[in-house]
Amino acid sequence: MTTVLTLHRELTLILLLLVGYSYAYSADSTETEQNKTDYTRGLVFGENYAYYLVPPAGWERDENPLVRLNWNSAFYPQEYSDSTSPVIIYSIVLFKDESMKSGDILEAYTAGYKTSFANLRIKDRDAIITAHDDTLQVRLHWSPESHLFQLIAIHELEDKAVLVIFQARTSKSFNKYEAKLEEMMKSYQYLTDNVRMSYPSDSTDD
């Protein structure tokens, strides 16, 4: 039994790549092959969203655990695997309901951690300004007793928010790698809401 992507999704991806390249070329007329590769591997998309998030130098993107963990993308240093890395950066998209206002998604996300970690410390950090002049709020979640060391950068949109989360296993790893979040977020660019995903019904090959 096989399930394949429809031509609709494939064409959507191609169009998004073309949009991305147009952004890249307009930003820098001396676009290099490496930069074009970065834009291609940094494309993240799903139902009703698409954005760029390019890993820092020496990091790689791994999509193996994404379905299980509901992540849209995951990144870690190339010398490690997803199971051995001392740090990971991943992104998720959370949608608002009609009653939610600005700031509610981040507060709801933090509230979930407060429930799980009674000793959670919370601190808002300086905002990150992307290369495309988006302002991203940054929040620290810190609980050494529970081995939680986390930074969240959030881009809030009208009906959703993109959260990019840096998480470390230890405070030492957090301090060593935390600058990578800001480095990555400089590349962040939200593209469009106009993405529609569709799959055909499962069918059995003859």
Number of independent structural domains in the chain: 1
35 CB burial (10 A radius; 0-12, 13-18, 19+): middle
Report pLDDT for 69.
Answer: 59
Q: Assess if residue 203 is contained within a domain.
A: no
Which residues touch 40 (CB under 8 Å, ≥6 apart)? 17, 20
At 47 the pLDDT is 82
pTM equals 0.76
Task: Evaluate whether residue 1 is within a structural domain.
Answer: no
Any residues with CB less than 8 A from the CB of 114 and at least 6 apart, and which?
120, 122
Q: Say if 42 falls within a structural domain.
A: no
- Bridge partners of residue 123, in order along the sequence: 140
Residue 20 lies inside a defined structural domain of this protein = no
Q: Starting from the edge strand earliest in sequence, which strands make up the sheet with 59-61, in order?
A: 59-61, 73-77, 87-95, 160-168, 148-156, 135-143, 121-129
Quick check: is 17 in a domain?
Answer: no
In the predicted model, residues of the chain with pLDDT beneath 50 are: 1-37, 67, 203, 206
What pLDDT score does 3 carry?
31
Range of the domain at 166: 51-190
65 within some domain: yes
Report yes or no on 110 lying in a domain. Answer: yes
CATH code for position 107: 3.40.1000.10
Strands of 1-159, DSSP E: 43-46, 49-52, 59-61, 73-77, 87-95, 121-129, 135-143, 148-156
With respect to residue 11, please indicate whether it lies within any of the assigned structural domains: no
